[in-house]
Amino acid sequence: MGKVILVVPEAPVSAAGVAVESRKAGRSALRLGVLDNSKGNADYLLKFIVEAVKAAVPVASVVSLRKDSVSLPAAGAILDQLAAEADFVVSAMAD
């Protein structure tokens, strides 16, 4: 057997920390956020995930947004909108 090389694709941790507001799930329906990373078939995978979440818990609304580029982070406006309109966010990669 040949040599196996394992690569761990971890991004460096940023030095600046951001205060995060603590959120708790209540008994009311949740607002679901979906972030499509724009890779091929991610939209199909996210569709199945949204359907499964809706079947498992009450969902009041779904906000679905897509990154401009698979190789770049989501724009601040996208992250701000998800933070304002969603109680939790699901993101997926696919090919």
Q: How many domains, the chain?
A: 1
- 11 located within any domain: no
Pairing of strands 30-36, 88-92: parallel
Task: State whether residue 48 is helix, strand or coil.
Answer: helix
- 9 located within any domain: no
- 17 located within any domain: no
Q: Residue 74, class by beta-carbon neighbours within 10 Å (0-12 exposed, 13-18 middle, 19+ buried)?
A: buried
- pLDDT tens-place values along the chain, 95 residues long: 678 777 777 777 766 666 666 656 566 789 999 999 888 888 888 999 999 999 999 999 999 999 988 888 999 999 999 999 999 999 877 66
Range of the domain at 62: 30-92
- 43 located within any domain: yes
Model confidence, pTM: 0.68
